[in-house]
Amino acid sequence: MKIVIATGIYPPEIGGPAQYAKNLKIEFEALKHEVKVLTFRLENKLPTGIRHFWFFLRCLIFFPMADFIIALDTFSASWPAVLAAKILGKKIIIRTGGDFLWEWYVERTGDLVLLKDFYKTRQSKLNFKEKLVFKLSRWTVRHASRLIFSTEWQKEIWLAPYNLDIKKTTIVENYYGLKEPSFPPTEKNFLAGTRPLKWKNDIRLSEAFRKDRIKNARIVYDNTTKPFDKFMDQVARCYAVILVSLGDVSPNLILDAIRHNKPFILTRETGFYEKLKTIGIFVDPENVDDIADKILYLADEKNYEQCRQKIESFNFTHTWSQITQEFLTVYRDIK
């Protein structure tokens, strides 16, 4: 078949959609399909609106030859892609990632609202641009041929506000790879590696690490970020990974930690809770003391080793080949 993948970012840019697009392309081509990745280029220099219109025109050029189309966000690339696909009568699958609207709202306002509460409590506080994005996003996801979520958790949050047809939704889990090399840590460094975004909850996390009982335990907060390959080396050599976001649908950093047998602390506001609750440590992202307590718990060598052994015994895999086959199954099921 001829397949087009529409995405706002693609390697060497970093981010979940970029890696997702790259690996889908590799796997589809291994099955002898012809793949075109349509990604932002000039669009990155254009203002909102004009950017989307230009990408829409590019979609109209490349979509006619496609058997089906995959879009890897819910607004930036997906809105123009779905509009073009609808005009041309093409099947298009949207794979959601995070929640663009919620992230945007939190960054603009500094209102540290949990993702699960956002649509129930903050819609009246959206500005004009955010209300427009919400309406366009809702139109986009409702008019996709199928909407793929990585977790049931996010699907349940979105069903009501986006007025979704549950029959047009599917769960395709993230990539869970084979175990990779792990190296003993040289210090008790907790790797966050998060971008400086408010929804990542760095204010509370930093506050937890500033507590005297944390400092006295010689615990190190490592919030540095590097290009993908170098960052993976950091993961392999760190003491533990920590993410306390206000909502993290299916954070790849946690899956990276598991592959390297590294213990982790993760926000309980995540789609991973049910699957990983027996091997990970989960925290209330609004409770600084809870975060600090869990850091200290994991800093204890006995507790650390127990957690490490649990993760070492976790051998679930979900390969890119399997993910690709699931996308093809969804394509065949679309009426």
Structure pTM? 0.92
Q: Is the pLDDT of residue 72 over 80?
A: yes
Over the chain, what is the mean pLDDT?
95
If we measure between CA atoms, which residue out of 180, 183, 179, 142 comes closest to residue 159? 142
- Domain membership of residue 299 (yes or no) is yes
The residue among 70 and 14 whose pLDDT is bigger is: 70
- 222 shares a domain with 134: no
- 200 shares a domain with 254: yes
Question: Any idea what the CATH number is for the domain that residue 115 is in?
Answer: 3.40.50.2000
- 100 shares a domain with 78: yes
Q: Domains in the chain: how many in total?
A: 2
Estimate to the nearest angstrom the gap between the alpha carbon of 165 and the chain centroid. 22
Helix (H) or strand (E) segment spanning residue 86: helix 78-88
- Domain membership of residue 181 (yes or no) is no
Phi, then psi, of 242 in degrees rounded to 5 = -140, 130
- Domain membership of residue 273 (yes or no) is yes
Q: Which residue has the tokens 């027996």?
A: 278
- Domain membership of residue 274 (yes or no) is yes
Q: How many CA atoms lie within 13 A of 189 on its CB side?
A: 15
- 130 shares a domain with 70: yes
- Domain membership of residue 73 (yes or no) is yes
- Domain membership of residue 261 (yes or no) is yes
- Domain membership of residue 183 (yes or no) is no
- Domain membership of residue 208 (yes or no) is yes
Residue 294: predicted pLDDT: 97
| Sequential DSSP letters for 113-166 | --HHHHHHHSGGG--HHHHHHHHHHHHHHHHSSEEEES-HHHHHHHHTTTT--G
251-269 residue pLDDT tens: 999 999 999 999 999 999 9
SS3 at position 92: strand
One-letter-per-residue 3-state SS of 200-214: HCHHHHHHHHHCHHH
Distance CA 22, CA 35 (A): 11
216-231 residue pLDDT tens: 888 999 988 777 778 8
136-163 residue pLDDT tens: 999 999 999 999 999 999 999 999 999 9
- 222 shares a domain with 170: no
- 156 shares a domain with 251: no
- 194 shares a domain with 170: no
Distance CA 27, CA 324 (A): 7
Q: Is the pLDDT of residue 10 over 90?
A: no
| Sequential DSSP letters for 307-319 | HHHHHHT----B-
- 134 shares a domain with 202: no
- 149 shares a domain with 200: no
SS3 at position 218: coil
- 87 shares a domain with 162: yes
Helix (H) or strand (E) segment spanning residue 27: helix 16-30
- 205 shares a domain with 152: no
- Under the banding of pLDDT at 50, 70 and 90, the label for residue 73 is very high
E-assigned strands of the chain?
Answer: 2-7, 34-39, 68-71, 91-95, 146-149, 169-171, 188-191, 219-222, 240-243, 264-267, 281-283
Residue 307: predicted pLDDT: 97
Enumerate residues 6+ apart whose C-beta is below 8 A from 255. Answer: 174, 175, 176, 177
- 161 shares a domain with 16: yes
Torsion of Cα atoms, 290 then 293 then 295 then 296, to 10°: 180
Domain extent, residue 171, equals 2-175+318-333
Distance CA 85, CA 217 (A): 57
